[in-house]
Every structure is written in structure tokens, then in C-alpha cells.
Amino acid sequence: MNGRPLRFLAATLGGWSLVRLGMLWPVLERLPELFVPAPPAEAKAFAAEAGRPAGPRRPVMSHPRPARPVPPATPVPVAHAGAPLAEEAALETPSQPPPLRLPDLTTTPEEAARLTVSLWGIARGGVDMARPGSQLGGSQAGVRATWLIDRRHRLALSGRVSGGLDGRSTEAAVGIDWQPVAAPVHLLVEQRVALGRGRGGPAALVVAGLDPRPLARGLRIEGYGQAGVIGRDGLDGFADGAARVTRRVQAGALRLDLSLGAWGGAQRGAARVDVGPSAGLALPIGGHRLRLTLDWRQRIAGRARPGSGPALSVGMDF
């Protein structure tokens, strides 16, 4: 308990520092121009236009000019339906919270806002009360925000607060989210700070997704996978993923997805694989989509808690 105020202060200062870095990034990006001498033939023209940014570089202030067109890329499947999928929300581990909406950093200023926020929560049943052991997945809630600081290089600041519904394992994280290619692949580096029970540390991970792909008879397949390490006394690895085959039923503004899914996760001392049916309902609310998903998770491999049972999740992106 004595260290919690200091950990909270560290998380606050870290987040403030990253926000300041994001505000200054356009200026820092142009510093190399100041050290490139102008050719002699252009010296007079340069002197006459002193104070004006040279070349086609974007202005320092807001409304930057987009770089050369980049082929549009859809986000990692966690952005599906404008809200996080239930499988990601239910694969929470002590080392790694579920991936939320990873922003498509290839969009132009007219196509996407710099700031994106994702909210999620999940209530998980099937806890094995009589058998002690490690836990991989459980009831939780969280919020994640990203601030796009460089569209050309697809770079964003990220911040997150998440934890179990019991309030004893809350964690904050601040870091960098980089989409190195137009495909839905993100590299994340972040500093995690435990605000309750548990330990923080630096973490690095890669998240990749499979956007919905058509199959036969109106079915679609989608999924995601992630893997990474977190530094504590040493390096602890973690990985998880999910896939599902879905049939969509549209009824006016409502959208119902009936699916068969598979979920899996592993970290030191815990691993599991679950399969089962899933039903997801997307509701339009104020220009956004609220997604409610009910799964049955049947554990078929591993011994990590909770046991087989239902999982109800809710999520929304802004």
C-alpha cells in the first residue's frame, strides 16, 4: 500500500511526458532542415523567404498535409464493428491485457481523428473455486487511448488503464504504437505500472490480425494473434490469439453475428485453449457502435482458471 501513491505519480508523470512529446513532435521532425545549408545559387532566395517552411513539408501547426497516398489498410480485427471483440477481452492475463482497437494509422486527416478511445468490460463465469491454480482470463474492464503523432510513419502514443473487477490488479501503461506496414500489424512498446496488486515493467509486443474473409455459404473467418515479453526480474513471454467463423444476420440497424470460436493463451505457469459458440450484437448509439457479445468458453486444454463457462462482454470505440 505504501508504494501505490508513488506508482500512481509515476504513471501520471509518464503520461504527461508522452503527451508533451506528441505536441512537440511536428517541430522536432523539422529540426534537420535547420542544419542543411542552402546551395549558393539559392542563398538569396532563401534569405528573402526566411521564416517560411521550404519544400513540400507539412506545416508545424494542425491540419498537416498528408504524405503520398498509402494503400488503405483495415485495422487489426479488434476494431471489428467499432468495438473490441469478446475473445480479446476475455483473454486477459496478468502479463498482458486484451488488445483493444489498434488504430489504422495509414488514414489521412480527413479519414480519421488523431485521438481514438476504446472502452471494454467482461464478466466471466466458470471459476474453479475448489481448485487452486494460476488464472488466465477473468472478469475485467479497461480503457485505452491513442494519439496519432505522425501519420507518415504511422506512429501513435498510447495509454491504458485496466484491471480485474475485484479492483486488486489495476494496471496503467503508457507507450508507443507503431504500424510499420500498411497491413494490420502493430508493434507496441510500453511501460506498465501496477496500481494495485502485481508488478509492472517495460513490455514489447507485436499484434497482428486477420480481417474478415469470406468463406462458403455466407460464412466469414476472422482472428488475431499477439506475442511479447515483459521485463521484471527477467523476461517473461506471453502469447494469445483467437479465431472465429461467423454468419451475420442483419435486421435494420441491428447486426447479429452467430459464430463458432476458438481462443488460446499462454504465459509462464499458465496456458489454456477454449472453444465454443458465440453471439454478438452491434447496436448503433450516437454515431458509434456498442457491441455486446455472449460466449460459451469450453476449456479443452490447459488447467488455468477459470473453468468452462459463459463470458459476457461489452465494448465501444470513439
- DSSP for 152-199, please give it: TTTEEEEEEEEEETTSSS-EEEEEEEE--SSSSEEEEEEEEEESSSS-
Residues 89 and 120 sit within 8 Å (Cβ to Cβ): yes
Residues 170 and 196 sit within 8 Å (Cβ to Cβ): yes
Task: Give tens-digit pLDDT for 227-243.
Answer: 999 998 889 999 999 99
Among 297, 315, 23, smallest CA distance to 137 is for 297
d(CA 82, CA 174) in angstroms, rounded, equals: 23
pLDDT, averaged per 10 consecutive residues of the chain (318 residues), comes to 52 55 52 46 41 40 37 33 33 43 52 84 71 70 95 94 86 96 94 88 95 92 96 92 94 88 94 96 90 96 92 93
Note the residue count of the chain: 318
Tell me what pLDDT residue 64 has.
39
As given in the structure block, the three cell numbers for residue 263 are 481462443
Tell me what pLDDT residue 59 has.
39
- What residue type is assigned to position 184 of the chain? P
Task: Give tens-digit pLDDT for 113-156.
Answer: 799 999 999 998 865 544 445 777 778 999 999 999 998 899 99
**Going by C-beta distance under 8 Å and a sequence separation of 6 or more, which residues neighbour residue 182?**
70, 71, 72, 73, 106
Q: ω into residue 306 within 30 of 0, thus cis? A: yes
Domains annotated on the chain, with CATH = 1-61 (no CATH), 75-317 (2.40.160)
Task: Give tens-digit pLDDT for 184-196.
Answer: 999 999 999 999 7
pTM over 0.85: no
Residues 143 and 117 sit within 8 Å (Cβ to Cβ): yes
As given in the structure block, the three cell numbers for residue 89 are 477481452
Tell me what pLDDT residue 104 has.
56
Residues 227 and 237 sit within 8 Å (Cβ to Cβ): yes
